[in-house]
Chains A and B, each alone.
Chain A
Amino acid sequence: AQKVTQAQTEISVVEKEDVTLDCVYETRDTTYYLFWYKQPPSGELVFLIRRNSFDEQNEISGRYSWNFQKSTSSFNFTITASQVVDSAVYFCALSGPSFYNQGGKLIFGQGTELSVKP
């Protein structure tokens, strides 16, 4: 069975602090895809990153970085120098090998609500 766990329900930081959002996943598939989405108060889901199981390279995009470690089944997300606009709920999600052929059936984690205070 597939499962995504985001143990941190809520995180509150002060602007300019760095913050890491944890994501642990479970799957029996050897090919799978991991995602991070941002859900601001308006409700829409904003795509941040997709990573396939064969690519363990860490990625950096501006203030965002992701650490994918298959050995610990984790795909953690770090925001450097956080800003008030980063306040949102962040979801980690997992999809199986059928993602490329059959599209986006995603298993979502519970979400982490990040509050960045000025």
Chain B
Amino acid sequence: GAVVSQHPSRVICKSGTSVKIECRSLDFQATTMFWYRQFPKQSLMLMATSNEGSKATYEQGVEKDKFLINHASLTLSTLTVTSAHPEDSSFYICSARAPGTEGEKLFFGSGTQLSVL
């Protein structure tokens, strides 16, 4: 079945550094991917919609310059947290829709736990 791979699964970085998270659709092409953020014991909040070959669409309140999204190919979207600060520590998870007869299910990556020291 369709798989979305997210890497790394866990990253610890120093405050002020940038961190890149990759989201790959392994056996299907995804023109659109989605990035969510989840704080401990809270819901997933959509951050942005990543569109292949064009600019990402950000949700209200999400800083475009801090969370850079690049969707350079039909199978890869990246989220870069720039100049990370402790308040950026969170669980980030991507999703992509796999077209097909299974009913356009959404598939989620396994998530990335970001800890900023």
Taking Cβ atoms with an 8 Å cutoff, the residues of A that contact B are: 35, 37, 42-45, 47, 50, 91, 99-100, 102-111, 113
Can you list 30 A-B pairs, Cβ within 8 angstroms, ordered by A?
A: A43-B9, A43-B93, A43-B111, A43-B113, A44-B93, A44-B110, A44-B111, A45-B108, A47-B105, A91-B43, A100-B104, A103-B31, A103-B32, A103-B34, A103-B97, A103-B106, A104-B34, A104-B95, A104-B96, A105-B46, A105-B49, A106-B44, A106-B95, A106-B106, A108-B43, A108-B45, A110-B43, A111-B42, A111-B43, A113-B41
Q: Is the CB of B32 within 8 A of A44?
A: no
The interface on chain B, measured as residues whose beta carbon lies within 8 A of the other chain's beta carbons, has a size of 26
A102 to B93, CA, bound (A): 19
B93 to chain A, nearest CB (A): 7
Q: Which of B32, B44, B91, B105 has the most CB of A within 10 A?
A: B44
Beta-carbon contact of B111 and A47 below 8 Å = no
B107 contacts the other chain (CB 8 A)? yes
Which residues of chain B (23-60) have a CB below 8 Å from chain A? Answer: 31-32, 34, 41-46, 49
Q: Could you tell me the distance between the alpha carbons of A113 and B105 in the complex, rounded to whole angstroms?
A: 23
Tell whether, in the assembled complex, residue B46 and residue A106 are in contact, meaning their CB atoms are under 8 Å apart.
yes
Q: A43-B91, A50-B105, A91-B44 are in contact. Are A105 and B34 (CB under 8 A)?
A: yes
Considering residues B106, B107, B108, which has the most beta carbons from chain A within 10 angstroms of its beta carbon?
Answer: B106
